[in-house]
Amino acid sequence: MIVVLNNKSNLNQEQFLGYQKQLEDIISDHKLVLCPSNIYLADFYLENLSLGVQNVSPYEEGAYTGEIASSQLKSLGVSYAIVGHSERRLYFHENEMDLKKKIESLLKYEIIPILCIGEMEKQDGLRVVESQLEILKAIDKNEQVIIAYEPVWAIGTGQVPTIEEVEKVISFIKGKFPQNSVIYGGSVNEENIYNLKSSLLNGYLLGGLSLKPDRLRQFLNQLDR
């Protein structure tokens, strides 16, 4: 399985270096991916985790002040990139054209995109997911994209869907894109992972839990049981 750690906009530089120190001795059979703030990419040194990012420019290198291009990320050893997180869609008004450009740019430089999809309201699940998946139909090599199902109503709220609800959506996604890996995110932690295991899932996307190495270790231990 793949376990993606999304640090979001947290940790100053001193804290990040100390945080990495706590992650050094984590040993897992699962693929672990750390997505820190972009300003810390050059500080990344861990050999037991792969390096990812939380965002990428939809443009190539050039006159795009403040943006970071896929080619630049590749030169820093980045292997994965989160695209279309609900917070990017909500606060930065990213649209499907932006996401398409980002995914195509990442694939060009052999960086694996992690496309986040998910509904705002619980009752809108399949309808919203189907709409957000349309973007993949227009992308070559779309089977290389990891799909992260994160119901927005569950992110950071402590409201966790049942495994039956998760599997309903995952089965729907797999029915349309059977070659893609699909992971789940949304208030998953070391205490509720028992109830969120499924043979349909290829991994998990962790937000708040990613910042707590001790609890992360517990999560990984529970994941193996």
130 is catalytic: no
- Residue of 85, 87, 119, 190 marked catalytic: 85
Q: How far apart are CA 218 and CA 145, in angstroms?
A: 28
Instruction: Kindly tell me the sign of the dihedral angle through the C-alpha atoms of 99, 104, 108, 112.
Output: positive
Distance CA 95, CA 79 (A): 24
The one catalytic residue in 119, 150, 167, 190 is 150
Q: At what angle do helices 13-23 and 213-223 cross, to 10 degrees?
A: 30
Long-range contacts of 155-159 (CB under 8 A, 24+ apart): 155/86, 155/118, 155/185, 155/186, 155/187, 155/207, 156/187, 156/207, 156/208, 157/187, 158/187, 159/187
Q: Is residue 93 flagged as an active site residue?
A: no
- The residue whose two tokens read 């990213």 is 94
Exposure on the CB side of residue 141, measured as CA atoms within 13 A? 12
| Phi, psi at 165, each rounded to 5° | -65, -40
| Residues labelled catalytic | 85, 150
